[in-house]
């Protein structure tokens, strides 16, 4: 099964992705993990770009993300199935995703969209208070940084959700409920026991 889990930061998509991965015996692929991994390679151009993005709270440019994702999506492990978390973020990335997977002969089964209000997202993220990268001492989750990231998220959200709705892959989930209830709703809508 090839799934995408999508929602604003703080929506619990990471937690739900892990729960689903355990239930379905799939790996979770996240843009964040790919970016953090690449940021450790300071000698490479992509590494520098990823590190800078983490420091400033900006998103990594599409051309760099595409390189990171193409490698991952074409891997043997990807053929077996996965859950994508944090990718695609926009129409351009969604089109790229479909162009890559069509070459390696698999498809996306469902796009799980966890809806959450900005107020709840902000509350959850301020509580989480992550560092931009290990040992940096700089908070990734200040009110100003979170609001900036939510603003960027919303600029792309409507078109992306509509893209997957038109493909008949959209599954909408209410993110304001408990972790267990969100998971139960996802399982019910995916017909997973």
Does 111 carry a binding-site annotation? Answer: no
The Cα-based distances of 175 to 45, 115, 163 in angstroms read 37, 5, 21
Cis ω before 133 (30° cut-off from 0): no
In three-state secondary structure terms, 173 is strand
What is the reported pLDDT for 103?
Answer: 93
With contact defined as beta carbons under 8 Å apart, do 31 and 89 qualify?
yes
Can you name the residues that pair with 174 across neighbouring β-strands? 115
Does 16 carry a binding-site annotation? Answer: no
In three-state secondary structure terms, 27 is strand
Rg (CA), the chain: 16
Percent of the chain at pLDDT exceeding 90: 71
What is the reported pLDDT for 132?
Answer: 73
Does 15 carry a binding-site annotation? Answer: yes
Under the banding of pLDDT at 50, 70 and 90, the label for residue 159 is very high
What is the reported pLDDT for 151?
Answer: 93
Helix (H) or strand (E) holding 188, with range, is helix 179-189
Does 45 carry a binding-site annotation? Answer: no
What is the reported pLDDT for 160?
Answer: 97
With contact defined as beta carbons under 8 Å apart, do 67 and 93 qualify?
no
Report the length, in residues, of the chain: 193
Percent of the chain at pLDDT exceeding 70: 99
- Encode 117-131: b = buried (16+ Cβ within 10 Å), e = exposed: eeeebbebbeeeeee
Does 60 carry a binding-site annotation? Answer: yes
Does 6 carry a binding-site annotation? Answer: no
Q: pLDDT tens, 75-126?
A: 999 999 999 998 898 999 999 999 999 999 999 999 999 999 999 999 999 8
Mean pLDDT of all residues in 150-173: 96
Mean pLDDT of all residues in 163-176: 97
What is the reported pLDDT for 37?
Answer: 85
Q: How far apart are CA 152 and CA 176, in angstroms?
A: 21
Both tokens of 11, joined, read 């929506």
Does 11 carry a binding-site annotation? Answer: yes
All structural domains of the chain: 2-188 (3.40.50.300)
Does 36 carry a binding-site annotation? Answer: yes
Does 61 carry a binding-site annotation? Answer: no
pLDDT above 90 (res 128): no
Does 130 carry a binding-site annotation? Answer: yes
Q: pLDDT tens, 66-77?
A: 999 998 999 999
Does 31 carry a binding-site annotation? Answer: yes
Does 149 carry a binding-site annotation? Answer: yes
Mean pLDDT of all residues in 162-168: 98
With contact defined as beta carbons under 8 Å apart, do 132 and 140 qualify?
yes
Does 166 carry a binding-site annotation? Answer: no
Does 124 carry a binding-site annotation? Answer: no
pLDDT above 80 (res 165): yes
């Amino acid at each position: 099964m090839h799934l995408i889990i999508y929602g604003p930061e703080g929506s619990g998509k990471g937690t739900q992705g892990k729960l689903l991965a355990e239930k379905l015996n799939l790996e979770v692929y996240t843009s964040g993990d790919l970016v953090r991994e690449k940021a450790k390679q300071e000698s490479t151009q992509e590494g520098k770009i990823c590190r800078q993005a983490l420091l400033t709270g900006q998103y990594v440019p599409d051309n760099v993300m595409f390189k990171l994702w193409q490698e991952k999506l074409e891997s043997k492990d990807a053929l077996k199935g996965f859950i994508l978390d944090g990718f695609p973020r926009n129409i351009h990335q969604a089109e790229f995703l479909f162009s890559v997977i069509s070459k390696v002969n698999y498809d996306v089964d469902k796009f799980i969209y966890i809806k959450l209000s900005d107020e709840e997202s902000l509350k959850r993220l301020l509580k989480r208070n992550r560092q931009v990268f290990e040992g940096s001492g700089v908070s990734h989750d200040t009110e100003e940084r979170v609001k900036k990231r939510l603003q960027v998220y919303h600029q792309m959200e409507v078109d992306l959700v509509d893209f997957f709705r038109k493909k008949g892959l959209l599954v909408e989930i209410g993110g304001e409920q408990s972790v267990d209830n969100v998971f139960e709703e996802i399982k019910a809508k995916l017909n997973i026991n």
